[in-house]
A and B are shown apart, each in its own frame.
Chain A
């Protein structure tokens, strides 16, 4: 009986190491990526984002060194996100947390967000990362999301991001747009498109 349980515990690791999608990588890169995926699996991190990042690199014709560097960096960010968000964080939360960290948020910001908002935190983290990508300074984006997080719904956060993007497109400075919109409070929801 114990043998069966041990086999069941090993199956995910075996499957990850033998993920047939990784066959699209060259042998050397595949070996490194498979090792990174296996390591992440054993650490309890989600491996699908790592596989997808490797496949993105292949599709875009990136050299193996860039692919392995990107996968390794993402694995580290996922690990940092889990340290900040806790063991119970879901895979989408960790992935969004990794994106927020990559955008410039600190692990302390992630911890504070975890403290003020009920899960799932995916949308709050994603909006934080998207604001930074849109030009809002990382500390302003973090402050804005932390201010909205306790009460805003996911749809409110999406609308907030869109409102800030509109203001920036109309000529407002990114930091000012975020601050003004936080104070105004964006409450209108219109989800259903990127």
Chain B
């Protein structure tokens, strides 16, 4: 019994004293792994960007900014061959918003429908590319700086 235990003990001791074969590159690999700089992650920046975007979108939603409502503009001009709606909403470009004659040109009512965000807009109608007319259904612009009439439209928050 005692002899068996001694043998077992010897076997354990031999096993423990046995030289361990270690990969000669092991140390180098460990040191290389330790020395490798941490990769920069964009996750924190993405998180910050998400927070900023949420704040801005939330603010716009709460204040109603950017909520566009459709507005119909009309001008009765039976003699006109063409009418354009020109104003702050299209950079005063006469070519951007041509009006259409409802029921044909002879009917004389020219219309255009535009989505407009809340704000105050100056505009006018350009008849036949030469004659500026104010909107008879809207308030006139007070500060008529350029010698031709303009109208103003204030779009409230919906």
Could you tell me which A residues sit within 8 Å of B by CB distance?
21, 49, 52-53, 55-60, 62, 66-67, 69-70, 73-74, 90-92, 95-96, 99, 102-103, 120, 122-123, 126-127, 129-130, 132-134, 154-155, 158, 161, 191-194
A155–B156 CB distance below 8 A: yes
A57–B142 CB distance below 8 A: no
B153–A194 CB distance below 8 A: yes
Chain B: interface residue total (CB-CB under 8 A): 37
- A–B pairs, 21, beta carbons within 8 Å: A49-B88, A52-B91, A52-B122, A53-B145, A56-B87, A57-B145, A59-B92, A62-B145, A67-B146, A95-B120, A99-B120, A102-B143, A120-B157, A122-B154, A129-B139, A130-B154, A154-B157, A158-B156, A192-B69, A194-B135, A194-B137
Q: Which residues of A contact B122 (CB under 8 A)?
A: 52, 56
Q: A59-B93, A91-B119, A192-B69 are in contact. List 6 more A-B contacts (CB 8 A).
A: A52-B122, A66-B145, A122-B119, A129-B152, A133-B142, A193-B72
Q: Which residues of A contact B135 (CB under 8 A)?
A: 194
Q: Which residues of A contact B72 (CB under 8 A)?
A: 193
Could you tell me which B residues sit within 8 Å of A by CB distance?
63, 69, 71-73, 86-88, 91-94, 118-120, 122, 126, 132, 135, 137-143, 145-148, 150-154, 156-157
